[in-house]
Amino acid sequence: MDDLGDRDARYIRRVIAVQRGLEVAGRALLLAHGWHRNLARPGARRGRAFGRTVWGAGTASLAAAKILENMEIGHNVLHGQWDWMRDPKIHSTTWEWDTACPAAQWKHSHNVVHHTFTNVVGKDRDVGYGVLRVAPEQPWHPVYLAQPFYNVLLALLYEYGIALHDLAVEKVATGEKAQEEVDAQLREIGRKVAWQWAKDYAAFPLLSGRSFLPTLLGALTANTVRNVWAHMIIFCGHFPAGIATFPEERLDGETRDEWYVRQLLGSANITGGPLFHLMTGNLSHQIEHHLFPDLPSNRYAEIAPRVRELCERHGLPYHTGRLGRQVASTWKKIVRLAFPGG
C-alpha cells in the first residue's frame, strides 16, 4: 500500500481507456452492420456473410467491454481500491457501473455484509444468494432439488439476481427491515434497469434502422456473456470443494487474526495468465482479494506468492486450480447439495 503511485494510476486509467475503446468499437460495428444491411442488395450472399462477421465482431467487442467494466473496473473502484488517487471520476463515491444493480446497494450487500461476514451461514447472504444450498449446514428443502436447473437461469440473468440481492425481503417478516425501505430500493432498481434497457435495447438498436433486431440481439448477447462469465468466476472463487463455512458463533470474540484466517479458508483462486486475470477483474486471486479488499487489484499477483508461502509455513490450505477444475468442483457441489445431507 505504501508503494502505490503513478504506475498504479496509469494502470487503471489505461484499463478504462481500453474498456471504453472496446465499447465504442462494439457499438460502432453493430451500427455498421445495421447500416450495411439497410444498403445491401437483397439476396447478396457475400454481403450477408460480411454482415454476420461484422455483427460477431461487434458483439464480441461489446461483451469484452462489459466484462472489463464490471470485473476489473467497476467491482474494484466500488471497493475503494482507487480512492487514494483522489480522482473524482474514478472514486467509489461517484462510480456508477454498467449493470442492473445500483452501485450504492451493491456496496452495502457486498463490501459491508459479504466482506465482513464472509461464509458465516446465516449472516453472509452470499452463501447461496438465498436461493442455492452450497453448504451442508444450510437446512435442506425439496425446492433445492431443482437448484442445478435454476442456477443456469441465475447465470444467464446474473446482473438481475445481484440487483435484487440487497433487498433482503425475508427481513421484512422478522421486523429487521421496513417495507418502505424495500419499496424505495425497488424504485431505485427500476430506474437503473430502465436506463440500462433504454441504452442497450432501444437507443442503439433504433439507430440501426431496419436492423433493429440484430443490434438488439447483439447487446442482449453481450450482456448474457458478461452475466455467465461473472457468475462463473465469482462462484469458482467461493464455492469449490474444500471451501469452509462457519457458524454464527465463530464471530463471538473473533480477533483480527482470526478474521484473516476465515477469509483465507472461505476463498479460492483460479490459475491463469495475465489476460485471464485481467478479464476476471483479478478475482482469480480471490484469496488475496478477501485478505486485502482495498488493495488495488493489479497488485494481487505481486503478493500472491507471499500469501501462499505463509500458508505453507503455517499449514494452512491455499485453494487454487485451473478454471475447468474449479468449475467442475463448484457444479459437483451444487448438484450434490441439491439432495439431503452432504
Contact in structure between 294 and 81 (CB atoms under 8 Å)? yes
Return d(Cα 326, Cα 244) in angstroms, integer: 15
Confidence of residue 44 (pLDDT cuts 50, 70, 90): low
Examine residue 179 and state whether it is found in any structural domain, yes or no.
Answer: yes
Return d(Cα 287, Cα 234) in angstroms, integer: 12
Examine residue 172 and state whether it is found in any structural domain, yes or no.
Answer: yes
99-150 pLDDT, tens digit per residue, is: 999 999 999 999 999 999 999 999 999 999 989 999 999 999 999 999 999 9
Examine residue 328 and state whether it is found in any structural domain, yes or no.
Answer: yes
Q: What is the pTM of this model?
A: 0.94
Contacts of 268 (CB under 8 A, 6+ apart): 236, 237, 238, 240, 242, 243, 286, 287, 319, 320, 321, 326
Strands (E), the chain: 269-270, 320-321
The residue segments making up the domain with residue 172 are: 103-187+229-336
Q: Is the pLDDT of residue 164 over 80?
A: yes
Examine residue 68 and state whether it is found in any structural domain, yes or no.
Answer: no
Examine residue 176 and state whether it is found in any structural domain, yes or no.
Answer: yes
Examine residue 150 and state whether it is found in any structural domain, yes or no.
Answer: yes
Average pLDDT over residues 215-241: 97
Backbone dihedral angles phi then psi of residue 103, each to the nearest 5 degrees: -60, -40
Contact in structure between 316 and 108 (CB atoms under 8 Å)? no
Return d(Cα 18, Cα 14) in angstroms, integer: 6
Number of domains in the chain: 1
Examine residue 151 and state whether it is found in any structural domain, yes or no.
Answer: yes
- Look up cell 462457519; give the residue: 246
Lookup: cell for 279? 478479464
Q: Is the pLDDT of residue 286 over 70?
A: yes
Examine residue 245 and state whether it is found in any structural domain, yes or no.
Answer: yes
Return d(Cα 140, Cα 342) in angstroms, integer: 10
Contacts of 324 (CB under 8 A, 6+ apart): none
Neighbours of 174 (CB within 10 A): 7
9-40 pLDDT, tens digit per residue, is: 999 999 999 999 999 999 999 998 766 655 55
Return d(Cα 98, Cα 196) in angstroms, integer: 7
What is the per-residue DSSP string for 260-324? HHHHHHT--EE---HHHHHHTTTGGGHHHHHHSTTS-GGGHHHHHHHHHHHHHHHT----EE-HH
Confidence of residue 327 (pLDDT cuts 50, 70, 90): very high
β-strands 320-321, 269-270 pairing: parallel
